Amino acid sequence: MKYVIIGGCIAACGAIEGIRSKDAEGQIIVIDGEKRGAYTRPLISYYLSDPDRYTDIDYRSPEFFKDHRVEVIKARAEAIDRSRQILILDNGEEIDYDRLLIATGANPVMVPIPGADQDWVKPFYTLGDAEQINQDILFAREVVVIGSGLIGMKAAEALHKRGLTVHIVEKESHILPRQLTPGTAVFMHRNLAKEGIDIIAGDEVAVIHPEHQVELKSGRILSADLVIMAVGTRPNAELAVKSGLTVKQGIVVDSYLRTSDDNIYAAGDAAETLNVISGQPEVMALLPHAHREGYLAGCNMGGQDTRDRGSVPMNSVKLLGRNICSAGAAGDEKGELLTWHDNDQLLEIQVRENYLIRYIAINMPQVAGPLTNAIEKKILVAAGDWQEFMEVGPALANIPPAYWQELRRLEANGSN
């Protein structure tokens, strides 16, 4: 069996591990268009905050590809000839495959705001971007970050640590709109303001003027030596579209990570997979998911039939000394909200018909793992038990017994 993987990042590493768990002999080829091997993207903000300290940002050891007997070709995939099962590279080379995995990841969205085409308006997505910004800020004092998602916030934190004046412009009413609720965001806003980071929520950038000025819709004008556009990412599904595969938000796959072509699989930020809370397929561009999907795709490409049971959006991030873990439903899902807080810690959970569907934990990572798992695996715990958990004080030792019983049962069935 000959396996070809397009992309050399997290999902690809997962796929290699998955394939090798089933097939020790088959040939594996990785087509990697990025200069560097598999590094973990979330670490680029750490690199930017302290470039001398974070030099090693590899996801796997340097020997990983060799140890798994993988050939890496540094090139970009240009086209897929599905009828002949051949991949055509940008250098003209043709590679035949039995099983193909598309793990092409995502690209940062650059909103066409007037003036956004100037060279001091940058994305912050690859290590190359971070290295470039690290050069650019040598003579910079002030920066505007557009978007307060995880990428925007981590970029803002890194630049703040480097001594720059940072303004964050967020069009929603609060930062981290995907992770936090308005109530929990207040907790973070206070902290960021205290640190001297300027948060401008509920406003948008209207024009970026060549005189290094950023004009907002409200009329406010900010001066900026650098603008970072961090409004989100979009699946890099161009190759799949060109090859006639079904693509909606991202590349459409079945629960075995197979695309509309039986010999072609997709995983990671380029694919859309099942969100178990909404019941709908969705692009969840997150590192743990990229590995899980890659791994399952690899197992299935190697001859196993394992279903992806789906997942939920989840994040854990540290911002200026505070940790935020969150997982589960989007803000518009219905369910009872329960909140617990104490000085610097906060936990908000959402329960619907005896199932936990969401949580936000600020400076409370201790309980996050079981809560994530309860949501993802839809573990039945009586709503009253969750209430008691919140009343006695959320701690690992107070997780409802029903959760642990179910965990042990799943473990005994080998389905955990």
Q: Which residues bind another protein (CB under 8 A)?
A: 14, 40, 42-43, 46, 54, 56-61, 287-288, 291-292, 295, 314-318, 323, 325, 327, 365-370, 372-373, 377, 396-397, 399, 401, 404, 407, 411, 416
Type of residue at 416: N
Secondary structure (3-state) at 25: coil
Helix (H, G, I), strand (E, B) or coil at 222: strand
Q: Could you tell me the smallest distance in angstroms from the CB atom of residue 416 to another protein?
A: 6
Please write down the long-range contacts of 305-310, taking CB distance under 8 Å and 24 or more positions apart. 305/256, 306/256, 307/255, 307/256, 308/255, 308/256, 308/257, 308/273, 308/274, 309/255, 309/274, 309/276, 309/377, 310/255, 310/273, 310/274, 310/275, 310/276
Sheet holding 94-96, edge to edge: 77-81, 86-89, 94-96
- Number of Cβ within 10 Å of residue 168's Cβ equals 24
Which element (helix H / strand E) includes 129?
Answer: helix 127-136
Least CB distance from residue 236 to another protein, whole Å?
20
Beta carbon of residue 372, minimum distance to another protein (angstroms, whole number): 5
* Shortest Å, Cβ 7 to another protein: 17
Helix residue ranges per DSSP H, 43-95: 44-49, 64-67
Of residues 354 and 366, the one with the C-beta less far from another protein:
366
For another protein, the closer of residues 61 and 135 by Cβ is: 61
Are 315 and 286 within 8 A, CB to CB?
Answer: yes
Is 45 or 243 the residue whose CB approaches another protein more closely? 45
| Alpha-carbon span 48 to 45, nearest angstrom | 5
CB 359, min distance to another protein, A: 10
Residue type, 315: N
Q: How far is the CB of 128 from another protein (least distance, A)?
A: 18
Q: Is the Cβ–Cβ distance between 160 and 195 less than 8 Å? A: yes
Task: Give the residue with the Cβ less far from another protein, 163 or 369.
Answer: 369
Residue 134: CB minimum distance to another protein, A: 18
- Decide whether 191 or 315 has the Cβ nearer to another protein: 315
Nearer of residues 122 and 292 to another protein, judged by Cβ: 292
Question: How many beta carbons lie within 10 A of that of residue 228, not counting itself?
Answer: 25
Name the pairing type of β-strands 226-229 and 142-146.
Answer: parallel
Q: Which is nearer to another protein, 154 or 167 (CB)?
A: 154
In whole angstroms, how close is the CB of 325 to another protein at the nearest point? 5
Q: Residue 32 or residue 376: which is nearer to another protein going by CB?
A: 376
Within 13 A of 346's CA, how many CA atoms are on the CB side?
Answer: 17
**In the bound complex, what is the minimum distance in angstroms from residue 56's beta carbon to another protein?**
7
Q: Which is nearer to another protein, 128 or 369 (CB)?
A: 369
Residue with tokens 């206070």: 190
> 122 and 225 in contact (C-beta within 8 Å)?
no
CB-count burial class (<10 Å; 0-12, 13-18, 19+) for 163: exposed
The nearer residue to another protein, 84 or 318, going by C-beta atoms, is: 318
Residue 266: CB minimum distance to another protein, A: 18
